[in-house]
């Protein structure tokens, strides 16, 4: 499996993304999230700074990588100088994050990906340039830590032969967060993904783009493939009923 300088497939990247660097730099992303869900408590700038400072305080020696397992694959936003396939152990990709904003609403919460405990996960490691770390990590924290759901942590990055090549930051799910939806049934998960949407898009689009982004990298996630097929079928059935 090879990874080009552009992580996502050109077809996936051809459209304009709602979630962009400009949106994060201007603070508009936070305003969009607040507009979707006025009662949702967002992290303050101080809380985000403290979170970032805490993880950098225990940074392992060597290059700094970020582990991409969902939308960071097909819409990374941050600038990286190297991308390579990576596997992490002890965590698996799961639609376990309920969202009442962005890709869902308070009336119809959506779902996005988190890393839940157990198993392993294949994704992409993004290496950041040392001279750009402060700016790029600030953008990353504005994106991923807008509200409380994730616990950023260092994970070991394994290459295709199973050898460790570095350490990366991964956004793992906090099972104590109110956004944790790991206990949903498969049917409930399909229903949310098929129907929920918010100011930056739909949960279904997030799912399909992640599936296609993984495929473009030669990564076949059987659980995600099956979920996507069931969501597509649910949407077709809904469209047929409306005719």
Q: In whole angstroms, what is the distance from residue 145 CA to residue 128 CA?
A: 19
Number of structural domains found in the chain: 1
In the chain, what percentage of residues exceed pLDDT 70?
Answer: 93
By mean pLDDT, which of 19-23, 79-83, 89-93, 222-226 is the weakest? 19-23
3-state secondary structure at position 16: coil
Give every CB contact of residue 219 below 8 A, 6+ residues apart in sequence. 1, 85, 122, 123
- Catalytically active residues are 144
Tally of CB atoms within 10 A around 159 = 14
Tell the residue number behind the tokens 């799910």, with chain if given.
173
Give the model's confidence band at 206: pLDDT under 50 very low, under 70 low, under 90 confident, else very high: very high
More confident residue, 99 or 7: 99
Give the model's confidence band at 17: pLDDT under 50 very low, under 70 low, under 90 confident, else very high: low
Q: What is the pLDDT of residues 72-123, one digit of tens each?
A: 999 999 999 999 999 999 999 999 999 999 999 999 999 999 999 999 999 9
Q: What is the pLDDT of residues 163-201, one digit of tens each?
A: 999 999 999 999 999 999 999 999 999 999 999 999 999
CB-based contact 50:145 (threshold 8 Å): no
Residue 99 lies in a domain: yes
Residue 76 lies in a domain: yes
Bridge partners, 158 (sequence order) = 87, 164
* Residue 186: domain span: 10-237
Residue 2 lies in a domain: no
Residue 1 lies in a domain: no
Q: What is the pLDDT of residues 120-162, one digit of tens each?
A: 999 999 999 999 999 999 999 999 999 999 999 999 999 999 9
Give every CB contact of residue 141 below 8 A, 6+ residues apart in sequence. 48, 51, 52
3-state secondary structure at position 182: coil
Q: In whole angstroms, what is the distance from residue 138 CA to residue 134 CA?
A: 6
For residue 151, the domain's CATH number is 3.10.490.10
Closest to 194 in 3D by CA, of 87, 106, 107, 108 = 108
Residue 5 lies in a domain: no
Pairing mode, if any, of strands 110-127 and 150-158?
Answer: unpaired
Residue 231 lies in a domain: yes
- Terminal alpha carbon distance of the chain: 43
Q: In whole angstroms, what is the distance from residue 139 CA to residue 129 CA?
A: 14
Confidence at residue 243, expressed as pLDDT on a 0 to 100 scale: 67
Q: In whole angstroms, what is the distance from residue 219 CA to residue 133 CA?
A: 28
Residue 198 lies in a domain: yes
Q: What is the pTM of this model?
A: 0.90
pLDDT at 18 over 90: no
CB-based contact 180:97 (threshold 8 Å): yes
| pLDDT, the chain, mean | 91
């Amino acid at each position: 499996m090879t990874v080009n300088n552009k992580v996502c497939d050109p077809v996936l990247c051809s459209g304009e993304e709602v979630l962009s660097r400009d949106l994060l730099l201007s603070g508009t992303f936070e305003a969009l999230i607040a507009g979707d869900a006025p009662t949702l408590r967002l992290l303050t700038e101080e809380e985000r700074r403290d979170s970032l400072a805490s993880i950098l305080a225990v940074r392992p020696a060597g290059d700094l990588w970020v582990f991409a397992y969902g939308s960071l694959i097909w819409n990374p936003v941050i600038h990286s100088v190297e991308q390579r396939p990576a596997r992490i152990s002890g965590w698996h990709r799961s639609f376990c994050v309920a969202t009442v904003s962005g890709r869902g609403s308070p009336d119809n919460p959506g779902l996005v990906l988190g890393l839940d405990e157990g198993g392993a996960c294949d994704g992409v490691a993004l290496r950041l340039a040392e001279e750009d770390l402060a700016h790029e990590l600030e953008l990353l924290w504005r994106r991923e830590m807008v509200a409380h759901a994730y616990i950023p942590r260092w994970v070991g990055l394994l290459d295709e032969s199973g050898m460790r090549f570095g350490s990366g930051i991964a956004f793992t799910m906090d099972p104590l967060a109110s956004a944790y939806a790991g206990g949903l049934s498969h049917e409930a998960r399909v229903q949310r993904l098929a129907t929920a949407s918010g100011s930056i898009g739909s949960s279904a689009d997030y799912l399909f783009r992640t599936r296609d982004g993984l495929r473009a990298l030669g990564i076949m996630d059987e659980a995600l493939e099956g979920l996507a097929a069931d969501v597509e079928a649910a949407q077709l059935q809904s469209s047929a009923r409306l005719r």
